[in-house]
Structure 1
Amino acid sequence: MHTITRVILAVAAALALALGLTGCTSDSSQDKENEAKQESYDHLVAQQPAGRMDYSPTREAINQWVDTWGKRGKLSYVYIQNAKGEYGYFIMKGLPVPRCKMLTPTERVVSSSNGTAVVAQPGMDGVYSSGSTCNAYYGFDATTGAYMEFTVGTNQSFFLFDQPMSMPEYADAKQLGPSSVKDVGKP
């Protein structure tokens, strides 16, 4: 009885191995489609190569962002619009920060004889996070230093400026935090 079981298991293992190997060939329809896609891409690149720019407006915008926000003491004027279209504002020291940003790595790669795995790391407070708080922002009030946090999404948006806005919708915005535009003066 044991011999028959062993023979059946050996035949099943050989059959599984043979079937597994046939799935690794490059004759599958997916492989053919991927090859056709790559050939098409190569042909199009040869016929229409990417142009070369003499100037990058994207790099200029990024550098201007660095020049604007890379200064200690720079204030943010955060205007919040609710579902009714009403505006309020906060004035913060520096930029509002999404709560999902961390100073330490949130994951690490662990290798073993079984392969590689990505393992979650605890945050600065010693607990693990799902990273799902990217719609929550925090910062500190411009004059009092008070911690402030707000969320965006589902009928609430925020608009960030480096100076107070005088357009009508912003000029009539209600003060939401401890600091007012009058408290901080003109930038």
Structure 2
Amino acid sequence: MKRLARTVPALVLALVAGLTLSSCTDDSSQDKENKAKQQNYDHLVAQQPAGRMEYSPTREAINQWIKTWGQRGKLSYVYIQNARGEYGYFVMKGLPVARCKMLTPTERVESSSHGVAVVAQPGMDGTYSAGSMCNAYYGFDATTGAYMEFTVGTNQSFFLFDKPMTMPEYARAKQLGPTSVKDVENPS
């Protein structure tokens, strides 16, 4: 028993030494560069640690967004500017939604002895999508509930507000959907 008690620590010590030596000889150039990058990062953090904020304007803005848009029945005013600088607008129930947003997962992860694969899943309409259409938005008209869709990019931008805008470029905007600003300001 005493002999075994002396042999086990010696074997553990030999195993640790062997692993240490083998890890030293397997340093690839990528390992060396990763180590240098980490050392540089550690040095910079020690010299310039991240500051501590007493207040977060970003968190305040997110909470204000939630307060603004987190209520049922809120109207959005979507002003669209085309390549010629002309403006039009929609009045919608709630926020416009990017077409690439889904309520169900679009992918699932499958593991097997061959590795891990990400597999596409069909959408609610039973078809598959490549996750495109993030530049297309849709929503519903404020008074009629009519479906409306628009795209952005390629010289077309949209500006979203929670109230009608009175600045000249917006005040002169053409009504693009069934509801006008006047319809929702003075409902009959």
Task: Please state which band the TM-score falls in when normalised by the shorter chain.
Answer: 0.7 to 0.9
Q: Give the equivalent residue in structure 1 for 2:50.
A: 50
Question: What is the CA-CA distance between 1:109 and the residue it aligns to?
Answer: 0.8
- Kept in 2: contact 1:87–1:170 (CA 8 A): yes
Question: What is the CA-CA distance between 1:114 and the residue it aligns to?
Answer: 1.3
Cα distance 1:26–1:86, how it changes in 2: closer, same or farther (>3 A)? farther
Supply the distance in 2 between the matched residues of 1:131 and 1:114 (Cα, whole angstroms).
26
Give the letter aligned to residue 100 of structure 2: C
Unaligned runs of 5+ in 1: 1-24
The alignment of Structure 1 onto Structure 2 pairs a total of residues equal to 162
Following superposition of structure 1 onto structure 2, how do residues 49-128 of structure 1 map, counting pairs within 5 Å? 49-128=49-128
Supply the distance in 2 between the matched residues of 1:98 and 1:57 (Cα, whole angstroms).
26
Cα distance 1:180–1:33, how it changes in 2: closer, same or farther (>3 A)? same
- Compute the RMSD of aligned alpha carbons: 1.1
Unaligned runs of 5+ in 2: 1-24
Following superposition of structure 1 onto structure 2, how do residues 144-163 of structure 1 map, counting pairs within 5 Å? 144-163=144-163
Question: What is the CA-CA distance between 1:30 and the residue it aligns to?
Answer: 2.4
Supply the distance in 1 between the matched residues of 2:41 and 2:75 (Cα, whole angstroms).
47
Question: What is the CA-CA distance between 1:29 and the residue it aligns to?
Answer: 2.2
Write out per-residue CA displacement over residues 15-52 of structure 1, whole angstroms, 9 at most, x where no aligned residue.
xxxxxxxxxx7433222222111100011111111111
4+ residue segments displaced more than 4 Å:
none
- Kept in 2: contact 1:26–1:32 (CA 8 A): no
- Kept in 2: contact 1:91–1:142 (CA 8 A): yes
Write out per-residue CA displacement over residues 33-91 of structure 1, whole angstroms, 9 at most, x where no aligned residue.
22111100011111111111110000000000000000000000000000000000000
Q: Give the equivalent residue in structure 1 for 2:6.
A: none
Q: What is the SS of the residue equivalent to 1:145?
A: coil
Supply the distance in 2 between the matched residues of 1:91 and 1:181 (Cα, whole angstroms).
7
Supply the distance in 1 between the matched residues of 2:37 and 2:114 (Cα, whole angstroms).
33
Following superposition of structure 1 onto structure 2, how do residues 26-45 of structure 1 map, counting pairs within 5 Å? 26-45=26-45
Following superposition of structure 1 onto structure 2, how do residues 7-26 of structure 1 map, counting pairs within 5 Å? 26=26
Supply the distance in 2 between the matched residues of 1:48 and 1:153 (Cα, whole angstroms).
40
Q: What is the SS of the residue equivalent to 1:44?
A: helix
Percentage of identical aligned residues: 86
Following superposition of structure 1 onto structure 2, how do residues 161-180 of structure 1 map, counting pairs within 5 Å? 161-180=161-180
Q: TM-score, normalised by structure 2?
A: 0.84
Q: TM-score, normalised by structure 1?
A: 0.84
Q: Give the equivalent residue in structure 2 for 1:17.
A: none
Question: What is the CA-CA distance between 1:167 and the residue it aligns to?
Answer: 0.2
Q: What is the SS of the residue equivalent to 1:60?
A: helix
Q: What is the SS of the residue equivalent to 1:154?
A: coil
Supply the distance in 2 between the matched residues of 1:142 and 1:128 (Cα, whole angstroms).
30
| 55-64 or 28-37, larger mean C-alpha shift | 28-37
Write out per-residue CA displacement over residues 113-142 of structure 1, whole angstroms, 9 at most, x where no aligned residue.
111111101000000001110000000000
Question: What is the CA-CA distance between 1:185 and the residue it aligns to?
Answer: 0.5
